[in-house]
Structure 1
Amino acid sequence: MAEFDLIAAIRARAAALADARGDVALGIGDDAALLAPPAGRQLVVATDTLNRGVHFADDAAAGDIGWKSLAVNLSDLAAMGAEPAWCTLSLSLPDGDARARAAFVEGFADGFLELAARHRVALVGGDTTRGPLSVCVTAIGFVEPGWALRRDAAGVGDEIWVTGTLGDAGTALALDGIEGYRDFAVRRIDGADAGAGVDSEADAASAWLYQRLRRPQPRVAAGRALRGLARAGIDVSDGLLADLGHICVASGVGACLDAAALPASPALLAACAADARRALQLGGGDDYELCFTAPARQRDSIARALAAADTPAVVIGRIEAEPGVRVRLADGVMWTPSKRGYQHFG
């Protein structure tokens, strides 16, 4: 399968989504796409690159790579309150057996397009090239002018919220002994490896952790529901402390988190003792939940809006004037975790 055969195969798989939208005048197959953004909306654009050995393991399933490469970009759009619309894909593939390459592309497309279909995202262009396995996706969405959630809008006294649960993906990385996560004290909660069938509650808990790592769920509906209610937002990709820290720096404020309020899944509780659990919830990363701030008066409205979006969320702290992000334990003692989040070149 040569380059243009790969492009043709991807185009055939993606055509239905582009045709269904009605705002793609010209998609895959030309030098560039022709798109028709709706009147009165701003474009929101996000780009992420995933590399083998950095963002996914050498033996990662092609479908999981495809899913996650789009999910991380949709999560960025969700954090801005945007409605996803289109995406482009640049795929670098190693030389080698043509059948293996074709099988990888088919599996990759399965995961990528399954998630794209859930959010009506049309793949409208990109590139294929020979090289180390790497995926770069650009996702484009819309938001009403003045309604985007930004990092620089948090105010002193705002409540800090987070969707879903934290620490699940980081626990899966720790269970696999991934560099940077080996110091976390976690215990395997089943006797089988991650790919085993689900035969018990323990197996189900293990499967949950790995599913959270491999196929994160971008909180698109939640991001849209928060427009006009929340002030500042970000997705939790590198770790809660690191990502909330970006909001604080951009807004010129600080934050205090209540460790006891951090949401934990039953699987996380089964795999980690208290100290390791807190550390992974605060610094583990890869959960792709939304962290946002809002005035306390909006609490009931936010709870109703997120319930309608079928997204659980809890208040975990408050924005303060003093710079920095602090963590308070149940007894009032301030706690400093060993890991604040992931950083390339750190």
Structure 2
Amino acid sequence: MAMTLPAEFSLIARHFAPLAAPGSLGLTDDAAVLTPPPGRELVLAADAMVAGVHFLLDDPAETIGRKLLRSNLSDLAAMGATPLAYLLTVGLPRGTPDAWIAAFAAGLALDQQEFGLGVLGGDTVSTPGPIHLSLTILGHVAPGTALTRGGARPGDEIWVSGSIGDGYLGLAVLQGRLPMDAYLADRYRLPQPRLALGLGLVGLARAAMDVSDGLLQDLGHLCRASGCTARIEAAAVPLSAPATALVAADVSLRQKLITGGDDYELLFAAPPEAGSAIEARALEAGVAVTRIGRFAAGEPAVVVVDAAGVERPAGPGGWSHF
């Protein structure tokens, strides 16, 4: 008589085994065996998402899985790394519908196909609280080429990719605080990891990170790691068409856009002479890039120049994990 799988292993076999990467041993062991590409260094990052904190309780399960994977892919993009595989831990309340888990796994499958990676293993647990998800991603770079936060120098220009503030606005849309806008809602639910641009910045950018906790807060991280002051022009920060229209109706909204999180754009420092090459690499990657300011010698701090030319130290703002 065939043995019946315990519930946890049955769940893994149904939903996560089809996502398994080479080296996962079919998700039948407690660990995976991974051989990195020859001559490459591993890059690892981890992020967690909790229902009601990092995603809305009524968000589609498919987009939750995709956002979890994409937010980690964004960390790889910021280091100029190529995705390799990931580990996944899923904490679900008892009674979570099987259909929810199937949709969550289907979202992961879509993005695995798009970004070229698979799951190596992880864990599934029951929790009395809300859904808790954690993903550890692995990527690789040529030795010594990973972009970090600590390389900016006085005189370097400050760049960002894409547009800023759409994640903040998308959350407001989905919470009913702004009229429905499908573009903004998607920008919150489905961030776009700038992997091609990140690879293109290797050898050009001196420091980089992704914007997840708000532009000003994350720029402050670069300042502290690099020991520089950052001075940016508020009017130069790129906005999408929907964001531009909203700011035109309420100028005070601009400050919220540069402190809001969930942009998952790249923020990076580069010497002025690299500007033309950066624009060419961005064109190849199909991503817009914008110069918004410059680093200067001084204590780690962010200074914002408003539309009237008045310099204002960046106050507290941005997402806090505690």
Residue identity over aligned pairs, in percent, reads 45
Give TM-score, length-normalised by structure 1: 0.86
Contact 2:80 2:141 in 1 (8 A): yes
Residue 86 of structure 2 aligns to a residue whose secondary structure is strand
Residue 341 of structure 1 aligns to a residue whose secondary structure is coil
Partner of 1:28: 27
2:304 to 327, 330, 334: 327
The alpha carbon displacement at 1:53 in A equals 1.2
1:87 is matched by which residue type in structure 2?
A: Y
The alpha carbon displacement at 1:11 in A equals 3.5
Partner of 2:12: 7
The alpha carbon displacement at 1:274 in A equals 5.1
Contact 1:306 1:313 in 2 (8 A): yes
Matches of 1:292 and 1:277, distance apart in 2: 24
> What is the RMSD of the two structures over their aligned residues, measured on CA atoms?
1.8
Q: How does 1:1-346 map to 2 (within 5 A)?
A: 2-15=7-20, 18-19=21-22, 24=23, 26-96=25-95, 101-131=97-127, 132=129, 133-176=131-174, 188-189=178-179, 194=180, 206-272=181-247, 273=249, 275-323=251-299, 324-335=301-312, 340-345=317-322
Query: Deviations for 1:43-73, whole angstroms, at most 9, x for unmatched residues?
Result: 0000000001110111111011100111111
Unmatched segments (≥5 aa) in structure 2? 1-5
Give TM-score, length-normalised by structure 2: 0.92
The alpha carbon displacement at 1:116 in A equals 1.7
How many residues align? The count is 313
Specify whether residues 109 and 25 from structure 1 end up closer, same or farther in structure 2 by C-alpha distance, changes over 3 A only: closer
Aligned structure 1 segments of 4 or more residues deviating by more than 4 angstroms: 336-339
Matches of 1:27 and 1:222, distance apart in 2: 33
Contact 2:16 2:105 in 1 (8 A): no
1:295 is matched by which residue type in structure 2?
A: P
Matches of 1:52 and 1:8, distance apart in 2: 24
The alpha carbon displacement at 1:284 in A equals 0.6
Matches of 2:25 and 2:282, distance apart in 1: 36
Contact 2:173 2:185 in 1 (8 A): no
Specify whether residues 116 and 262 from structure 1 end up closer, same or farther in structure 2 by C-alpha distance, changes over 3 A only: same
Matches of 2:43 and 2:142, distance apart in 1: 10
Residue 32 of structure 1 aligns to a residue whose secondary structure is coil
Matches of 1:156 and 1:336, distance apart in 2: 18
Query: Deviations for 1:296-333, whole angstroms, at most 9, x for unmatched residues?
Result: 00000000011111111110000011221011023211
Query: Deviations for 1:107-131, whole angstroms, at most 9, x for unmatched residues?
Result: 1012112112111111110110101
Matches of 2:121 and 2:251, distance apart in 1: 46
